[in-house]
Structure 1
Amino acid sequence: MTMTSVKLSRILDERLQNGDVRTSFNRDKDTYRIEWNQSKEGITITLPNVIAKFNLKGDEAIDELVDHVQEAMRIMNEDYELTGMEKHIYPVIRATSFPDTTQSGVKLVYKDHTAETRIFYALDLGKSYRLIDEALLEKEGWTPARIDEIAGFNMRSLPAVPKHDRVAENDFYFIATQDGYDASRILNDAFLEEMKASAKGELAVAVPHQDVLIIADIQNNTGYDILGQMTMKFFAEGRIPITSLPFIYEDQTLEPIFILAKNKPRK
């Protein structure tokens, strides 16, 4: 069937409505919102993105969205502590356009990363996680530096074993474990240095969405075109998009690049 925003909003109403939440469809912005009646905290969904995934995956795309929303709403309505949960705190990469404040007006804890990305912090809860805000940090008496140190340590303990593919004499490596922190491996300097040391050409890195880290050993100009197309495709399909721009990794720094078709990228 042909899916429209109106049809999708009605489906979500049937799947998500209950007495404790309020749902609404904004025709002008083409968005759907679900929020708790009491706290007003909730989630806003951009419907065209979901429709695009529905066109690719069918009803599975809606099932995945409903599961994600229900879990996120449950987490939003519960109280959590950081003390005793240190081993479950991880960094997550987000676009600089990602909201830095919760719907209730509480600022999230974050750290600048690149011109395209920021580092937020998550308390892992098994099936999902909750982004850590300043109110939770203040309640625990923790500093941003402490949360960053703990999250970084835990991230470095995650396995970083990429799958390899060689295309047009360029080597591409992918980490996609679906553990929620694939893109976070971009923060593992030791891993990137290891990949850089073994690269035959120029090393590029991409985090198009949360659930993948792409590392490219670019050995000819065709490699840049392939990386650009690949990054854009992953960016369009990701559940939590980050950036369609890859980065050149040099001297332990990440520099965003614009890849021009059939040309070497401009920094």
Structure 2
Amino acid sequence: MRMTSIKMKKKLEDRLNHPEWNTSFNRDKDTFRIEWKHSRQGITVTIPNIIAKFERRGEEALDELEDHIGEALRIMNQTNQLTGKEKNIFPVIRATSFPKKTKSGKMMVWSEHTAETRIYYALDLGNSYQLIDEEMLEKESWTKERIEEVSSFNVRSLSRDLKHDKVADNDFYFMAAQDGYDASRILNESLMEEMKANSKGELAVAVPHQDVLIFADIQNKMGYDILAQMTMKFFAEGRVPITSLPFLYEDKHLEPVFILAKNRPEK
């Protein structure tokens, strides 16, 4: 028998019963909201999406959802300090369409990167992270320059293990450490220079989503086609998509490229 929105609402109410949380169901929008009673901060989930996951994976999907909601609400309700946690501050790459303000109106700390990407900064909390806003800096008298410096140092300390694949005489290297900062490694200048020094042809790089970084040592025209298809596929599948455009890396500079079939990229 098919799961209805009302039945799923009841399941969620049972699972998310917490003395300090309110839950509510919006029948018109078919959404379910969980929020802290004292602050009204919370998250809203879409019932049909949850039903689809439940019908594929059963109670395991709801276990996972419960964990994610609990973690999200926990982070919302805690006050995090930067001082003393310098080693846990990392840069994260996002699309330029990513909001510059939080939903509560706080301005994020961010820096320019490319025409397609922007750098934000995160405080790592273990199982998740919190994007750093200007209010956090002001409270602790930190400057944006200090955040940039600390995060730049920390990204260089991340693992550099790359998986290699050769396709049509082109070399592709993949970073997928699954630590939340795979794409961030594009900001590790020593890694970028090392890859450039070891490339036989032109070095291209792609950050289609947060959890992958692709290097391509392009040695023939087919390499561009392969990279374009690969980047688009990853972009479509990513949990946090960034950009479907790869970049050429030349003279310590990233240039977004539009790849035309069987042609060198047009800038």
TM-score range, shorter chain: 0.7 to 0.9
Q: Distance in 1 between matches of 2:115 and 2:8?
A: 35
- Separation of aligned partners in 2, 1:49 and 1:235: 21
Shift of the 213–51 alpha-carbon distance from structure 1 to 2, 3 Å rule, reads: farther
Q: 1:147 to 1:266 in 2, by over 3 A?
A: same
1:74 aligns with 2:67: no
Distance in structure 2 (CA, Å) of the matches to 1:151 and 1:233: 29
CA–CA separation in structure 2 for the residues paired with 1:257 and 1:49: 35
- 1:263 lines up with 2:263 in the alignment: yes
Looking at structure 2, the residues matched to 7 and 206 of structure 1 have their Cα atoms a distance apart, in angstroms, of 43
Matched, 1:96 2:106: no
Q: CA deviation at 1:138?
A: 0.4
The percent identity for this pair of structures is 65
Using the TM superposition, give the Cα deviation of residue 37 of structure 1 relative to its aligned residue in structure 2, in angstroms: 4.0
144-153 or 30-39, larger mean C-alpha shift: 30-39
- State the one-letter code of the partner of 1:84: G
TM-score with structure 2 setting the length: 0.85
Gap runs ≥5 in structure 1: none
Cα distance, 1:247–1:68 mapped onto 2, change above 3 Å: farther
TM-superposed CA distance for 1:10, in Å, is 7.8
- Identify the residue that residue 151 of structure 1 maps to in structure 2: 151
3-state SS of 1:181 partner: coil
CA RMSD of superposed structures (Å)? 3.1
Larger radius of gyration: 2
1:193 Cα deviation from its structure 2 partner: 0.8
TM-score by length of 1: 0.85
Q: Deviations over 1:183-220 (max 9, x none)?
A: 10000111111101111111111111111111111111
The residue type equivalent to 1:81 in the other structure is Q
Aligned residues: 264
Q: Distance in 1 between matches of 2:50 and 2:230?
A: 21
Q: Which residue of 2 aligns with 1:178?
A: 178
SS in 2 for 1:205: strand
Match of 1:161 in 2: 161
Cα displacement (A) at 1:116: 1.1
After TM superposition, give the deviation of residue 238 of structure 1 in Å: 1.4
**Structure 2 segments unaligned to the other structure (5+ residues):** none
Q: CA deviation at 1:258?
A: 1.6
Counterpart Cα distance in 2 of 1:231 and 1:46: 29
